Amino acid sequence: MTEKVNSMFQEVNVDQLEEGMTIVAYTGFSVEFSKMSSANCRFVRHNFKNTTTVVIRKNKRLKIPVTEIAEGDRLIKISNFPPELEKITRVSAQFADELKKRRMYRFIVKRENRLSSSVKKDLRDIIDQVAKTTGHPTRQKPTPRQRQKRNTVGGINNFIAQVAEGLEIRDQATMAVKSTMDRARKGFLDIREIKSNLNSINGSAEAMTAIVSLKESEWTYEHCVDVGVIFKTVYGKGLKEINHRSAFESEEEAMLSGFLHDIGKAKIPKYILEHSNPLEPSGREIQIIRSHPALGAILLEELNMSQTAVNMARYHHVKQETSMLNSYPQNAVWKQVAFETRLLAIIDIYQSLVGRRKYKRSWPASAAMKYLDALSGVEYDRQAWDVFSKVMGMYPAGSLVRLNDGSTGFVMNSPENSRKADRPLVVVTKNQNGEELTHPDVIDLQKETEFSIAKDLDYKTEYGSRTIDVFTNLRVA
């Protein structure tokens, strides 16, 4: 699991390594490690014995023991060093030069901090006194503007690190949903495995919402995880906007209810769920799929879930105009649909548009937001849409955009000022000529008013399957 970038850990490049640092993970490698040869596999296995690696294999991110790396893998990370490998974790000037020769360029490090606060204060006092007697002034304190930029950059890098960490958490939660549904198909209904993942997700939920914008998802299991994470984030933040009291006892219960909104699909034959072509609107298969809300409500009642969770499972496909053909169950009454379910319905369709289907391309996140905005008050509850769009922004974090100067960048936040929802923080990754930048720049569109978003982009066109790696390897200075 990627180490969080905080006061104890930080990610640095090879030129920033200093004596006294301890490497806890290798995270950046030259292009020769992007498609491992047999020689590279032998080198890594021999020099990094008993460690854990993260690789990309057939477009899937895998966390595996170093002994399991194979030709063709793309090496992303090496971590979990045993004590006997201290020689490749303790930084010295000579070792930093050796790492360059090995073409390993980025690391998560821990800097030793042996001085007590009182000793540090004494040292600062001595330095100040020497400066006064020698006529050399001490280093000036940063200005408020410099501090603000430093905080912004630190926040961006921390967010990127959390997204990287969220990838593994998401994979684990997805496997929990899959195994839970597989057991339910055999008549064993037990959600303890899903519950065990909630704590690890809780602190990373907001960052994990960006993964939806950056990486296509497989239907059905990743869909459940994404919807649950987004619901927890939007519901938790959005209640303050409308002075609505939570219907759940905890944030974990809210997220769990989002995870389980499609539990009824455990009773749908897999060959129908995994269809590779659009189903006939009036065909038998579509009618079977449309039974999943009612089936899900029954399963959640058996689990003694809250009535709100049951309502979310039963009515999340009900449209405000219930006579519409794509609104079901057909006997539903709009006033029976809880606010939580109305919000979930928007999140459900948003993830469906942005996520992957075997028979259609996924939408850019910002394009999905514009589409849903046009349907709010018609198909979807206007108040629920206002909450969703306020928290997510019209350009959700992870969206790829082109600015009016021709440069390209990733959106990093949703502006708190809803009147400036189209002016988020953007990390510029390509210049006007389409050349990738080695040192990404940050543009705050709320402050740098000469810039604006000219176009939302499809990340697959710009970066293809490596988009998530491009994003999680960004480091802003």
Within-domain flag for 259: yes
Within-domain flag for 462: yes
Distance CA(56)–CA(473), nearest Å, equals 14
Contact 355, 212 (CB under 8 A): yes
pLDDT (tens place) for every residue of the chain, 477 residues total: 343 444 467 888 888 888 878 999 999 888 778 888 887 888 898 889 889 999 999 888 888 999 999 999 999 999 988 888 888 888 887 788 788 878 888 899 887 554 445 555 555 665 566 555 555 555 566 666 667 777 888 899 999 999 999 998 999 999 999 999 999 999 999 999 999 988 889 888 999 999 999 987 777 899 999 999 999 999 999 988 788 899 999 999 999 999 999 999 999 998 888 776 777 777 888 899 999 999 999 999 999 999 999 999 999 999 999 999 899 998 899 999 999 999 999 999 999 999 876 656 789 999 999 999 999 999 999 999 999 999 999 999 999 999 999 999 999 998 877 677 789 999 999 998 888 888 888 999 998 989 999 999 999 889 988 899 999 999 887
Distance CA(275)–CA(27), nearest Å, equals 38
Contact 37, 71 (CB under 8 A): yes
Residues 406, 385 share a domain: no
Distance CA(64)–CA(54), nearest Å, equals 6
pLDDT reported for residue 126: 57
Residues 377, 259 share a domain: yes
Residues 254, 357 share a domain: yes
Quick check: bond before 329 cis, omega within 30?
yes
Alpha carbon dihedral 169, 171, 177, 183, in 10-degree steps, equals -120
User: Looking at 348, 365, 392, which one is the last position of a domain?
Assistant: 392
CB atoms within 10 A of CB 435: 10
Within-domain flag for 143: no
pLDDT reported for residue 232: 96
Residues 425, 340 share a domain: no
Residues 415, 354 share a domain: no
Residue type, 315: Y
User: 10 has which bridge partners?
Assistant: 109
Residues 338, 239 share a domain: yes
Residues 419, 353 share a domain: no
Quick check: bond before 220 cis, omega within 30?
yes
Within-domain flag for 89: yes
pLDDT reported for residue 114: 47
Distance CA(305)–CA(307), nearest Å, equals 7
Contact 427, 442 (CB under 8 A): yes
Residues 378, 314 share a domain: yes
User: Looking at 392, 418, 442, which one is the last position of a domain?
Assistant: 392
Structural domain of 416: 400-472
Distance CA(477)–CA(470), nearest Å, equals 16
Residues 168, 195 share a domain: yes
Within-domain flag for 243: yes
Residues 319, 431 share a domain: no
Lateral strand order in the sheet of 436-444: 436-444, 425-430, 408-411, 400-403, 453-457
Three-class secondary structure assignment of the chain:
CCCCCCCCEEEEEHHHCCCCEEEEEEEEECHHHCCCCHHHHHHHHHHCCCCEEEEEECCEEEEEEHHHCCCCCEEEEEECCCHHHHHHCECCHHHHHHHHHCCEEEEEEEECCCCCHHHHHHHHHHHHHHHHHHCCCCCCCCCHHHHHHHHHHHHHHHHHHHHHHHHHHHHHHHHHHHHHHHHHHCCCCCCHHHHCCHHHHHCCHHHHHHHHHHCCCCCCHHHHHHHHHHHHHHHHHHHHHHCCCCCCCCHHHHHHHHHHHHHHHHHCCHHHHCCCCCCCCCCHHHHHHCCHHHHHHHHHHHCCCCHHHHHHHHHCCCCCCCCCCCCCCCCCCHHHCCHHHHHHHHHHHHHHHHCCECCECCCCHHHHHHHHHHHECCCECHHHHHHHHHHHCCCCCCCEEEECCCCEEEECCCCCCHHHCCCCEEEEEECCCCCEEEEEEEEECCCCCCCCEEEEECHHHHCHHHHHHHHHCCCCC
Q: Which residue has the tokens 């930080």?
A: 10
Q: How far apart are the first and last CA of the chain?
A: 23
User: Looking at 335, 367, 392, which one is the last position of a domain?
Assistant: 392
Q: What's the total number of domains in the chain?
A: 3
Within-domain flag for 2: no
What pTM did the predictor assign?
A: 0.71
Residue (of 449, 373, 455) closest to 411 by Cα position: 455
Within-domain flag for 344: yes
pLDDT reported for residue 313: 98
Residues 179, 68 share a domain: no
**Between β-strands 52-57 and 74-79, what pairing exists: parallel, antiparallel or unpaired?**
antiparallel
Within-domain flag for 142: no
Residues 35, 14 share a domain: yes
